[in-house]
Structure 1
Amino acid sequence: MDRLKGKVAIVTGAAQGMGASHARVFIREGARVVLTDLNEDKGQALASELGKNALFVKQNVTSESDWAEVVRATEEHFGPVDILVNNAGITMAKSLLDTSLEDYRRILDINQVSVFLGMKTVVPSMQKAGGGSIVNVSSINGLVGGAIGYTDSKFAVRGMTKAAALECASFGIRVNSVHPGVIETPMIMQGDTKAAVEEFAKSIPLKCLAKSEEVSSLVLYLASDESSYSTGSEFVVDGGVTAQ
């Protein structure tokens, strides 16, 4: 239960879903964790539940000044950053012809620009710590085609990960991307979406959706020193979808 003992982590989009799962696992494994999100009520509630080793900071991940404040608060409360999980993101399933320029720029800002800002802002803090691990959450749509905008942004995360990994290797900072398939969350397992998702699950080689905790186990491995020789790589957790 101490795979991250003594580590300081930032997890974005941590108020719910996969981000909350990552934060829970990190706390369980001994890390001190700063949770960020725009949802202040849920974020504060989760931080209170997780205890003294958790801190919530409200953040717009597309804001450079918000990123600076997150790193400042992290260093003030817990010390230099060892781990960054760029988890925050949104989905969009519009067609090319139905996607406005405003739609397109919004998804790129949240899914792509936020990752750039996170890495740029956190690296100096990791240098103080003597190294670190950055985990960028992409998608299987960062490997294969999907909806316009969403796919573009997730491919970009994959590319930025490789570029940053090469640049940051000399600092002792590793950078990897995680590519989840369809994750079983309350948001998708309701209403009309539930039936469509259950039908899709039949086409997955493992015949089931992933649970958030299964993605968190992979994120934990990459955040920990166990993955000390892994950088610039894609780690897929999709039940075999992209192997077909």
Structure 2
Amino acid sequence: MSRVRLDGQVAVVTGAARGVGERLARALSARGAKVALVGLEEDTLRSVAGGLPGECGHWYADVTDHGAMTRAAREIEERFGTVDIVVANAGVAAGGPLLDSDPVAWRRVVEVNLVGAAVTARAFLPALTASRGYFLQIASLAAIAPAPMMTAYCASKSGVEAFAHSLRGEVAHLGVRVGVGYLSWTDTDMVRGADEDEVMREMRGRLPWPANRTYPPGPAVERIVAGIERRSAHVYAQWWLRGTQSVRGYLPGLVATVGARHMRGLGARAGSVRTGLVGAGGAADEKERGHRGRTHDE
């Protein structure tokens, strides 16, 4: 498949303050794209933008806030004149058994990961239609093989996969291409935050190879960039993920059977998993929501 040169293209990346989003912004900028970073951590976004080699800007916005994202989309188009690529990357995670989970954190995972993806698409589709551009939704192995102790994350990533596939059929006649990006465990603040919990780290270590490994972000981001250049319908950040598509019908049952055995082995320890969002990004999200709550109370 032919590749689209990124030089001069305008790319929007949500969740760009850290992790895959930050590295993706750097990689796109290095290839000559003009990059718009969108996220909650304004100071961190400013720092990331300051280190990019090409033209860029940063916008503070919660991806679940339709008004904020619509304003960001308008300002980005005013700044750069067009939008060619949008990567819906923003995401948070929480772990542990459903019955012991924090209901607020559980709901927030779904809101950011799934509702935030739809809000992002709604805000930028007019610009992408004008440019006949590309929308890449970042999903996960969790969409292909949902696992115990990750109900909110797996539900949200299964949801965004279905959302993107559905959206593809809606906008193809407008010239907009839609892709889904799949990642396994990648060395980011989110994964490291989850690994701080002994039970979650143990559960992940019991997964079969190669799903039990943590992968470096560099090669994963390079694969995502190559997918963006090709406007691919499916982008696999780790080489072996492509093969899971052919057996995905069997994976939920297999994972449930193996997971049930592990859960029995954990016993009461399963309930000791830390509640709330994980990693530095999760902490930033909780801090922002707390700040807005205090502002509303005052």
Q: Same fold (TM over 0.5)?
A: yes
Are 1:193 and 2:218 matched, yes or no? no
CA contact (8 A) 2:35 2:55 kept: yes
Compare CA radii of gyration and give the structure with the larger one: 2
CA contact (8 A) 1:210 1:239 kept: no
**Matched residue SS, 2:13:** strand
Q: In structure 2, do the counterparts of structure 1 residues 100 and 207 end up closer, same or farther at CA, with 3 Å as the change threshold?
A: closer
More helix by share: 2
Q: In structure 2, do the counterparts of structure 1 residues 99 and 202 end up closer, same or farther at CA, with 3 Å as the change threshold?
A: closer
Alignment of 1:214-229 (within 5 A): 214-224=219-229, 226-227=230-231
Separation of aligned partners in 2, 1:221 and 1:19: 15
**Matched residue SS, 1:164:** helix
Structure 2: stretches of 5+ with no match in the other structure:
245-250, 252-298
Paired AA for residue 181 in structure 1: S
Separation of aligned partners in 2, 1:151 and 1:190: 17
What is the count of residue pairs matched by the alignment?
Answer: 237
Shift of residue 19, structure 1, vs aligned partner: 0.4
Shift of residue 188, structure 1, vs aligned partner: 4.2
Name the counterpart of 2:142: 141
Separation of aligned partners in 2, 1:124 and 1:29: 25
Alignment of 1:1-244 (within 5 A): 3-51=5-53, 53-129=55-131, 131-146=132-147, 147-185=150-188, 188-189=191-192, 193=196, 196=201, 200=205, 203-205=208-210, 208-224=213-229, 226-227=230-231, 230-231=232-233, 234-238=234-238, 240=240, 243=244
Separation of aligned partners in 1, 2:188 and 2:122: 30
**Structure 1 residues 98-121: Cα deviation after superposition (integer angstroms, max 9, x where no partner):** 235433321111000010011111
Separation of aligned partners in 2, 1:103 and 1:44: 27
CA contact (8 A) 2:94 2:106 kept: no
Root-mean-square deviation (Å):
2.7
Separation of aligned partners in 1, 2:195 and 2:62: 30
CA contact (8 A) 1:10 1:35 kept: yes
Paired AA for residue 137 in structure 1: I
Q: In structure 2, do the counterparts of structure 1 residues 79 and 201 end up closer, same or farther at CA, with 3 Å as the change threshold?
A: farther
Return the TM-score normalized by structure 2: 0.72
**Matched residue SS, 2:226:** helix
CA contact (8 A) 2:86 2:124 kept: yes
Paired AA for residue 35 in structure 2: V
Paired AA for residue 12 in structure 1: T
Shift of residue 127, structure 1, vs aligned partner: 1.7
More strand by share: 1
Return the TM-score normalized by structure 1: 0.86
**Matched residue SS, 1:210:** coil
**Matched residue SS, 1:235:** strand
Separation of aligned partners in 2, 1:174 and 1:191: 33
Paired AA for residue 223 in structure 2: L
Q: In structure 2, do the counterparts of structure 1 residues 204 and 97 end up closer, same or farther at CA, with 3 Å as the change threshold?
A: same
**Matched residue SS, 1:165:** helix
Shift of residue 3, structure 1, vs aligned partner: 3.3
**Matched residue SS, 1:15:** coil
Stretch moving more, 159-168 or 65-74: 65-74
**Structure 1 residues 21-48: Cα deviation after superposition (integer angstroms, max 9, x where no partner):** 0000000111101001111111101101
Aligned identity (percent) is: 26
CA contact (8 A) 1:85 1:137 kept: yes
CA contact (8 A) 1:135 1:219 kept: no
Stretch moving more, 132-141 or 203-212: 203-212
**Structure 1 residues 174-197: Cα deviation after superposition (integer angstroms, max 9, x where no partner):** 111111111113564589639848
Separation of aligned partners in 2, 1:126 and 1:28: 22
Separation of aligned partners in 2, 1:97 and 1:201: 22
Separation of aligned partners in 2, 1:29 and 1:114: 27
Structure 1: stretches of 5+ with no match in the other structure:
none
